[in-house]
Amino acid sequence: MNVLYEDNHIIAVNKTCSEIVQGDKTGDLPLSETVKDYIKEKYAKPGAVFLGVTHRLDRPTSGVVLFARTSKALARLNEMFRSHGEIQKTYWAIVKNRPPKDSERLEHYLWRNEKQNKSFVCKKDRKDAKKAILTYRVIAKSDRYFLLEINLETGRHHQIRCQLAHIGCPIKGDLKYGYERSNPDGGICLHARSIRFVHPVSKLPIYIEAPCPDDKLWSVLTATL
C-alpha cells in the first residue's frame, strides 16, 4: 500500500486497479480495511480503528483515495464533496482515438442502468437523468495513444468513462464502454491523478498527487510532463 499523505485527521493512499475501496458482494478485502490495519499497526492502536470513506473510485481505476481518520474530518469532508467545488479532483486517461478537439467542456445527461451497472448518455427529459459536466485537454500523445487530463464539475456514476466513450474515445482497457481489448492487469487506463482541497480541520491548503501506474505506456506518455 502506497500512502501519499497522512495526519491526525486524514489519510490518502494510491489505489491500484485491482483494489476495491469498500467491501462489496465479491467478498474481496477492501482498501479501507487495509488502511485500518496499517493505522492499527503503525500507531499501536488498541481496539477498533475509525476510518471513514469519503469518496470512491471504480475498481478498475487507479489513483488517490482520501479517507477520514476522525468523525469530525469525515463529516466536514462529506459536506465538501457534496458541494461540488470545494474539492478539485483531476484525472488522467489514456485513449486510442484522437478527441474531436484538443480541449473541450462536455455536458451531457446520463442515466444509470442499475442491472448493467452502466451509465448511458440520454435526453434531458428522461426520468432519473442527471446532468454531467467535465472538461478535458490533451496533454501528451504517442504514435498510437493520447493522454487526457480531465477535471470534473459533477460526480456521476462512471461519468468520465461514459462521456469519453460518447465522443468516440473509450478509455484503453474499458470493455464496458466500448474499448476492444482488456488490459493485462484487468484495469482501465483511468487514473485519479490529484486532489486539492482545504483541510477540513486545520484549514490549510492540501494538494495530493498520485504517481501513475508502473507501466510502460504510462511512462512513455508522461515522460515529458
Tens of pLDDT along 165-205?
Answer: 999 999 999 999 999 999 999 999 999 999 999 999 999 99
Tell me if 65 sits within 8 A of 13, measured CB to CB: yes
The pLDDT value given to residue 35: 97
pLDDT tier for residue 26 given thresholds of 50, 70 and 90:
confident
Question: Strands 2-6, 103-113: parallel, antiparallel or unpaired by DSSP?
Answer: unpaired
What's the whole-model pTM score?
0.95
Phi-psi region at 117: left, alpha or beta (left = phi > 0; alpha = psi -120 to 50): left
Q: How does pLDDT run across 33-45, given as a tens digit for each residue?
A: 999 999 999 999 9
In whole angstroms, give the CA distance from residue 94 to residue 216.
12
The pLDDT value given to residue 53: 97
Q: Is the pLDDT of residue 23 over 80?
A: no
Q: What is the mean pLDDT of the chain?
A: 96
Among the four given CATH numbers 3.40.50.720, 3.40.50.1000, 3.30.2350.10, 3.40.50.300, the one describing domain 2-222 = 3.30.2350.10
Q: How does pLDDT run across 136-176, given as a tens digit for each residue?
A: 999 999 999 999 999 999 999 999 999 999 999 999 999 99
Q: How does pLDDT run across 1-18, given as a tens digit for each residue?
A: 999 999 999 999 999 999
Q: How does pLDDT run across 43-75, given as a tens digit for each residue?
A: 999 999 999 999 999 999 999 999 999 999 999
Q: Is the pLDDT of residue 88 over 80?
A: yes
**Ranges of each domain in the chain:** 2-222
- Which helix (H) or strand (E) element contains residue 208? strand 205-209
In whole angstroms, give the CA distance from residue 78 to residue 27.
26
